[in-house]
Structures are given as structure tokens and as C-alpha cells.
Amino acid sequence: MICVPLQSPLIRSRPCLRRSRTPISVGSLRRSGRLAAKPRAANATRQAQIVLLKKLGVHVDTSAPDLEIERKFKATFRGGNMSANKQQALQIFFNSDFDPMAMGLDMAELDTVET
């Protein structure tokens, strides 16, 4: 077998490098401003129920708070399982609008708040 070097290369240029697709970030997704402005329920099941009721012609008050969410929120802070630091942070966060007695929260040992 005879081997002779080639005078001209078979491939004239280097192969193009393959670039991977960049993942689409959540912030760059385009959304309709009209759809984004519509009120949506936090729970997908609740949102589907609201849509079906509207299609049936039943008036649905979407501005009313979801009772299940409110119940879970209040249950989170019941029973005295919240540390004094967390209680103080809530007091500072809500300023004068925070009424622990009205919400039924256990706020023991939290009489004053330093600001």
C-alpha cells in the first residue's frame, strides 16, 4: 500500500462549533399585559371554579379573601410555637395595623417594640 500526502485538505474550513441553547429566564418571557392584569386565585382549582362559575353566569367576588388561606395563615401562628424574635419581627413589620388579640395569636412576652 502506498501512502501519499494530500496537497489540498479535504475540508476547507473548521467545522462550526455547536452552541447550546440558552435557557429562557422567567423574567424574559413575554406575557400579555391584559392577561397579567386579570385577578387570579392562588389555587389553580379555585381559579378553575371561578372561571366555570363566570361562564355559567354566576357572579363571583374575586376580591374576597380565600377562607382556606386565611385559616391556614392563622393556624400557623396559633399555639405559642413562635419565638420572641419572630413575634417582634411581625410587630415591626405590621406597625400599628397588627392586632394580635384580634387575630387570636399568642404574643406572650412581647409588650414593647423598639424601633
Q: What is the pTM of this model?
A: 0.31
Is 103 inside any structural domain?
A: yes
**CA 105/CA 75 separation, integer angstroms:** 9
Does residue 7 belong to any structural domain of this protein? no
Mean pLDDT, residues 76-90:
73
Q: Over the stretch 33-50, which tens digit does the pLDDT of each residue have? A: 887 777 777 788 888 888
Q: State what percent of residues in the chain have pLDDT above 70.
A: 66
In a domain, 84, yes or no: yes
Identify whether 65 is part of a domain: no
* Distance in angstroms (rounded) separating the CA atoms of residues 37 and 77: 32
**Mean pLDDT score across all residues of the chain:** 73
Q: How many domains does the chain have?
A: 1
Q: Are 108 and 79 in contact (CB under 8 A)?
A: no
Tell me, yes or no, whether 96 lies in a domain.
yes
Q: Which domain holds residue 94?
A: 78-115
Are the CB atoms for 106 and 83 separated by under 8 Å?
no
What pLDDT sits at residue 55?
92
- Note the pLDDT of residue 56: 92
Neighbours of 105 (CB within 10 A): 20
User: Can you tell me the mean pLDDT for 77-85?
Assistant: 71
Between 37 and 111, the more confident residue is 37
pLDDT at 112: 47
Tell me 65's DSSP state.
Answer: P
